[in-house]
Structure 1
Amino acid sequence: MEGFGKRLKELRKEKGISVIELSKKINYSKSVIFYWESDEREPSISALKALCDFFDVSADYFLGR
């Protein structure tokens, strides 16, 4: 099953931005984004909202629903 991290990485690459650029846009550290993309950690609700707003997708998309 495709996980949160893979979806995040695909969206980031589609938008053509680096992890550093994303971290600046949503105000989370680049190391946290690396953890999310590698599925080592999951984002908080507030981080998930920031990601959904930035990428203009629903939380359901990130959750694979």
Structure 2
Amino acid sequence: MSIKNRIKDLADSHHQSIAEVERHLSFGNGTIAKWDTRSPSSEKLQKVADYFDVSTDYLLGRDAKENKTADLADKDTVFT
């Protein structure tokens, strides 16, 4: 699934259009649609992730979990 499609799914689940998300984030009209063929800047990708409270890894398809806050047991391992 592409970045744009993940954002579309998130927007749909929040009863918003891509255009509404772009306006809220002060992106130019059609910015997110271009992400089907171009990579977004890390700053813009982070803005979208923060807006929907998901990780950038989720938007990039690297993480199947939508939830931004990962289980601490998975992230924090104490090495002695």
Please report the TM-score for the alignment, with normalisation by the length of structure 1: 0.82
Query: Does 2:36 correspond to 1:43?
Result: no
Point out which structure has higher relative CO (alpha carbons under 8 A, 6+ apart).
1
Following TM superposition, the consecutive aligned residue runs of length 4 or more in structure 1 with deviations greater than 6 angstroms are: none
For 1:33 and 1:64, the matched residues in 2 are separated by 16
Computing the radius of gyration from Cα coordinates, the structure with the larger value is 2
Residue identity over aligned pairs, in percent, reads 35
Unpaired runs of 5+ residues, structure 2, are: 63-80
| 1:20 positional shift | 2.2
1:31-57 deviation per Cα after TM superposition (whole angstroms, max 9, x unaligned): 112222xx1222101101100110000
How many residues in Structure 1 have an aligned counterpart in Structure 2?
62
In terms of fraction of residues, the more helix-rich structure is 1
Please report the TM-score for the alignment, with normalisation by the length of structure 2: 0.69
